[in-house]
Amino acid sequence: MEQNFYTVLGIAPAATQQEVKQAYKKLAIKYHPDKNPNNKLAEDRFKLVNTAYQVLSNPGKRARYDLKLQYLRERERVIQQYQPYYNDRYRYTRQPAPVSERYYRPIRTEKHEFSRKDLYITIAFVGGILLFSLLLKVVMDHIAGEDKYKTALTYIADGKYSSAHRMLSDAINFKPEHAAAYKERGWLELNVFEDYEAALQDFNQAIAYQKKPSADVYFMRGVSRQHLASYLQAEADLNRAIHLNEKLWDAYLARGEVRLFYLQKYKPALSDFSTYLRYGTDKEKRVTALTYRGFGYYKIEAHKLSEHDYRRALTIDKENGRVNYLMGRTKMELQEPDSACIYFNQAYELGYSAALLELRANCY
């Protein structure tokens, strides 16, 4: 059986959220470092179990992970399908026959004159055929490329991401400078298949083949570079995206994350999160922005502001284990240990395992 997050937790791909949670708790207890002191294998297993639970317990992350598994299985199937054609046994044929096996017969030739006029006519005829063939190929490739691209957009709208990726690759083969096809394929690789290196390459091509690249392309390339740990380049791309479109609110959220966690630019990061919270409307992303801004306030020791943001985040999503954990840490800084322990306990009950260490250190 292939190794994936479902096999790590020992559950079926169709398992319910309750089954995921039960399997996680059972394995977390089994492999917890307190029960397996100085056991590196158990510690690695505990981390893997926790990572699997963080993905499968979140419906959005689980859906993207399932699509990624489907994409990998489809690619493996294609590789296996075409593998026989690369076998060495098909690469060689019989050696050319020796002279003794060849038969020759004299060819009668007749002398004829070939005038300069005939030469010009022949050159013009051949040149016309080549030019017509070239023009025909360019037109047909353009038509085929556009047709594949439009079909891919339909597949994306229907959620058929693997088929869409294949169609976009075909469109690029027919039309190598198809900037829109590179952009859409990069979007799939970034948001669905999480192949960040491939996404970066496609966004580079999309920008290279556009006279005026859009803010969206720079935004997605910045996110790809963030995942690839190129944080300064990521910030530069997000700056460019915001310069081109000051109302691209998601770019403020992404830039704030890069500045807060990787570049330690706390005040500019807080400004980015505040901008997103002022205009952004997506419920899940607002929780993220509040969480990140609360953490930014925590880093500059503005604990009251940090508490305020975490409380707003919990008003929207009270089942968020990470926010409960961060609220507990903030309460400890505010010298409210009893309240902190309540939040640590709630975080642990919601599956945020890091809260257990805080419980043991401060509450038991």
Tens-binned pLDDT, residue by residue, of the chain (364 aa): 467 888 888 898 888 989 888 988 888 888 888 888 888 888 888 888 889 888 988 988 888 988 888 888 888 887 777 665 555 555 555 666 665 665 556 666 666 677 777 777 888 878 887 776 766 666 666 788 899 899 999 999 999 999 999 999 999 999 999 999 999 999 999 999 999 999 999 999 999 999 999 999 999 999 999 999 999 999 999 999 999 999 999 999 999 999 999 999 999 999 999 999 999 999 999 999 999 999 999 999 999 999 999 999 999 999 999 999 999 999 999 999 999 999 999 999 999 999 999 999 999 7
Q: What is the DSSP string of 59-111?
A: HHHHHHHHHHHHHHHHHHHHHHHHGGGG-GGGS--PPPPPGGG----------
Which residue is associated with the tokens 């098909």? 90
Total residue length of the chain: 364
Check if the beta carbon of residue 155 is closer than 8 Å to that of residue 192. Answer: no
**Residue 180: how many other CB atoms lie within 10 Å:** 17
Which residue is associated with the tokens 């994350």? 257
User: Which residues lie closer than 8 Å to 215 by C-beta, 6 or more apart?
Assistant: 240, 241, 242, 243, 244, 245, 248, 251
Give the Cα separation of 144 and 147 in Å (integer): 5
Tokens of 39: 């056991």
Q: Determine if residue 351 is left, alpha or beta; phi over 0 gives left, psi from -120 to 50 gives alpha, anything else beta.
A: left
Give the Cα separation of 90 and 129 in Å (integer): 36
Give the Cα separation of 103 and 31 in Å (integer): 79
> What's the pLDDT score for residue 79?
76
Tokens of 106: 């004299």
Nearest to 224 by CA among 276, 252, 188: 188
pTM, two decimals, is 0.64
Nearest 5 degrees, angle CA 300-CA 303-CA 304?
130
